Amino acid sequence: MQPRTILTILVATHLLAALPAWFPGRRKRGVVHHGRELREYRSHLKQRTDRIDGVLGDVADAIEGLRRRDLDVDDAIVRLASAEDELDAAAEEFREMLAPEDLHHLHVEYDANLERALRGIVTAERGCGITKLPHRPPEDEEPYIYWKRGASNVTHARMRMAELAEVLVSWEPGRLAEANVTARLHRDEL
């Protein structure tokens, strides 16, 4: 074989190998599939985060009611226990969700903040338990310390979770997937 024939065969082989990429229908299928998965992820994420935020809002109101002495301890125990059960179930569902690879670290951080909120609920429940102890002095401030810590854990976790949920829902492929002050300031510039 002559060198010119070998060169012609190599060029023809490369052109035939690249030919399927030139067909417009072939390219769109992968993008549509990725878009459908992203839409489904956003839809499920939005539903779950809205439900979680609503429960955490009720929990924060209950703990603040305890701190202001507007809510009876027995009523608060029931509300906190039911919220804890509901958030435990939501946390399990959230862990089972598959996030896009670029969002995995934010998805895990959201889950960690959900655990922080659950710890805040347990702390508030511990404060309620202290009020039920026999021989407890009436002016004891220890339950209020627990309620204050629980309230701050729930509130701060809820604020961070709202910020993370906003980034998780609005993320587009190829864009920055960070939820910090710098990313928030420069999000529209990218």
Domain boundaries, the chain: 41-189
| pLDDT tens figures, 80-133 | 999 999 999 999 998 888 888 888 889 999 999 999 999 999 999 999 999 888
| DSSP category for residue 13 | H
Region 145-163: what's the mean pLDDT? 95
Residues 141-164: what's their mean pLDDT?
Answer: 94
Please answer whether residues 82 and 121 qualify as being in contact, where contact means their C-beta atoms are separated by less than 8 angstroms. no
Give phi and psi for 138, each to the nearest 5: -65, -30
**Distance of alpha carbon 52 from alpha carbon 165, whole angstroms:** 11
| 22 pLDDT higher than 80 | no
What pLDDT, on the 0 to 100 scale, is given for residue 84? 95
User: Which pLDDT score, from 0 to 100, does residue 16 have?
Assistant: 64
Candidates 1.20.120, 1.20.1530, 2.30.30, 3.30.110; correct CATH number of 41-189? 1.20.120
Closest to 71 (Cα-Cα) out of 149, 140, 151? 151
Cα–Cα distance, 5 to 153 (Å, whole number): 74
Give residue 31's pLDDT: 42
pLDDT digits (tens, 9 = 90+) for 51-91: 999 999 999 999 999 999 889 999 999 999 999 999 999 99
